[in-house]
């Protein structure tokens, strides 16, 4: 769904420049991290550049979802002009000036680095033609297309010279396999007089045996087999590379969306953190009874689990800590519980800020608002990138246990499975059936140790098994 059709979508204002070296970045309605980037084309006075805004601290490029305005449209200060997709959300960009949208430099569906010009704004109709000309000139000059044709031309001549050099230098420089040199010494053959038949004139064992007058033997067969795999090896790699794009008939290659690219980047970054995992069974009969009582009032199970986790984190602040550089770590002053949510085409983690301080009902209301904004791709950056601890719940899908990957910049993530009836024996040997769920926590071992995590899970279990404190 285009964000242009959402009347309440978050908005962002941009500013632009008046000088001949225009390169002022957009002004934003939230704290962002502007980057300066030299314009790829000069702009005359009264023609302003519209830049790709930085919608978050991790955003390096943005994708144009759609232009709300068309070329030639009159713009007034505050009008929404374009919808930009960042790594987590879509946002409307508003104009900071009155004027005419003279030229669109980056079209719908295309991406541009943060700080790059995506359009031109003219003050009057007289400057529209000039702006269009500037925009048109920027395309060929900025595109790498001319550079690529010029590369093949020098690349074509070099191949002929190398073969010529290898032939002429063959007698001067001896190029032989180790086995060929060994055979030459064994049979007292002057290897400098042997003509190589291997790749690039390399002397093979077979060449030495031929120079020594040795008839084909088992020894000759073995050397022949040894260089053979070496020569076909490169083609096999090339063949596998060429076959990779379409190994299965009817398959298709789908490029990552901006969000999927961000998730992939974060997951790769997570691999650099030494983590460990601890599992813990939790009895949920009392929790299930509480949920049935508060469910009619709009309370969700996710809110209950987030509240319980936040209360446990108050008692175990090291589990809420963060280590970013491997040299020191930070005890976070706020307990912000991020909760993983699957949305169309990706994954996002809306953050319940100060989850330990909000009552259960307010927390549930806040969570519903965040989910609606996440699915509409309307979350503000601080609503998805400020988490200090993450909760991932797959229990509603019947999953009994799973491991979660630690998000970058956090100390721990909790994976919650489904609550299922389990047969238990008490200390007297009597059997009973109780509901249990398995909780697995993945933690950064640089700052959190096994005993820390075990103590945290014990506290979490006590809160779940005696949930009256959750409603206070």
Helical axes 301-315 vs 285-294, angle rounded to 10°: 120
Q: Are the CB atoms for 47 and 122 separated by under 8 Å?
A: yes
Q: Which of 410, 392, 377 is nearest to 88 (CA)?
A: 377
Tokens 């797959």 belong to residue: 394
Contacts of 84 (CB under 8 A, 6+ apart): 12, 52, 53, 55, 62, 63, 64, 65, 90, 91, 93
Q: Are the CB atoms for 187 and 210 separated by under 8 Å?
A: no
Q: Are the CB atoms for 56 and 30 separated by under 8 Å?
A: no
Q: Are the CB atoms for 419 and 378 separated by under 8 Å?
A: no
Tokens 């909000």 belong to residue: 358
Contacts of 240 (CB under 8 A, 6+ apart): none
Q: Are the CB atoms for 348 and 384 separated by under 8 Å?
A: yes
Pairwise CA distance, residues 326 & 356, whole Å? 28
Q: Are the CB atoms for 121 and 134 separated by under 8 Å?
A: no
Q: Are the CB atoms for 317 and 452 separated by under 8 Å?
A: no
Pairwise CA distance, residues 435 & 216, whole Å? 78
Q: E strand or H helix at 457, and its extent?
A: helix 450-465
Residues that are catalytic: 445
Pairwise CA distance, residues 404 & 416, whole Å? 9
DSSP H helices in 170-204:
178-186
């Amino acid at each position: 769904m285009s964000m242009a059709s959402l009347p309440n979508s978050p908005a962002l204002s941009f500013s632009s420049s008046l000088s001949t070296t225009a390169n002022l970045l957009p002004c934003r309605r939230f704290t962002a991290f502007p980057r300066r980037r030299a314009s790829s084309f000069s702009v005359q006075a009264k023609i302003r550049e519209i830049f790709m805004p930085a919608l978050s601290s991790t955003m390096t490029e943005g994708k144009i979802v759609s232009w709300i305005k068309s070329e030639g449209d009159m713009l007034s200060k505050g009008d929404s002009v374009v919808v930009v997709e960042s790594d987590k959300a879509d946002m409307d960009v508003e104009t900071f000036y009155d004027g005419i949208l003279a030229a669109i430099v980056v079209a719908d569906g295309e991406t541009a680095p943060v700080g790059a010009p995506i359009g031109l704004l003219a003050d009057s109709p007289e400057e529209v033609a000039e702006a269009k000309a500037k925009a048109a000139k920027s395309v060929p000059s900025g595109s790498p297309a001319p550079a690529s044709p010029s590369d093949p031309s020098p690349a074509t001549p070099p191949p002929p010279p190398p073969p010529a050099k290898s032939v002429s230098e063959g007698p001067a420089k001896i190029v032989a396999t180790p086995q060929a040199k060994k055979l030459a010494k064994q049979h007292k053959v002057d290897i400098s007089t042997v003509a190589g038949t291997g790749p690039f004139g390399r002397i093979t064992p077979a060449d030495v045996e031929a120079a020594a007058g040795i008839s084909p033997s088992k020894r000759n067969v073995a050397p022949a087999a040894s260089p053979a795999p070496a020569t076909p090896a490169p083609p096999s790699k090339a063949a596998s590379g060429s076959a990779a794009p379409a190994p299965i008939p009817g398959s298709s290659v789908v490029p990552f969306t901006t969000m999927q690219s961000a998730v992939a980047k974060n997951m790769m970054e997570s691999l650099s953190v030494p983590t460990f995992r601890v599992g813990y069974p939790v009895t949920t009969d009392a929790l299930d009874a509480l949920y049935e009582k508060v469910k009619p009032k709009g309370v969700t199970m996710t809110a209950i689990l987030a509240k319980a986790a936040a209360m446990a984190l108050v008692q175990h602040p090291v589990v809420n800590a963060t280590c970013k550089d491997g040299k020191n770590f930070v005890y976070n002053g706020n307990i912000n519980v991020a909760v993983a949510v699957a949305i169309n085409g990706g994954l996002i983690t809306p953050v319940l800020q100060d989850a330990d301080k909000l009552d259960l009902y307010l927390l549930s209301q806040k969570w519903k608002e965040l989910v609606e904004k996440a699915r509409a791709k309307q979350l503000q950056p601080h609503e998805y990138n400020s988490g200090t601890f993450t909760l991932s719940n797959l229990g509603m899908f019947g999953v009994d246990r799973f491991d979660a990957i630690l998000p970058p910049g956090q100390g721990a993530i909790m994976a919650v499975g489904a609550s299922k009836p389990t047969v238990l024996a008490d200390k007297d040997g009597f059997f009973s059936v109780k509901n249990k769920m398995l909780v697995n926590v993945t933690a950064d071992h640089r700052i959190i140790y096994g005993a820390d995590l075990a103590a945290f899970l014990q506290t979490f279990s006590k809160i779940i098994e005696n949930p009256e404190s959750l409603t206070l």
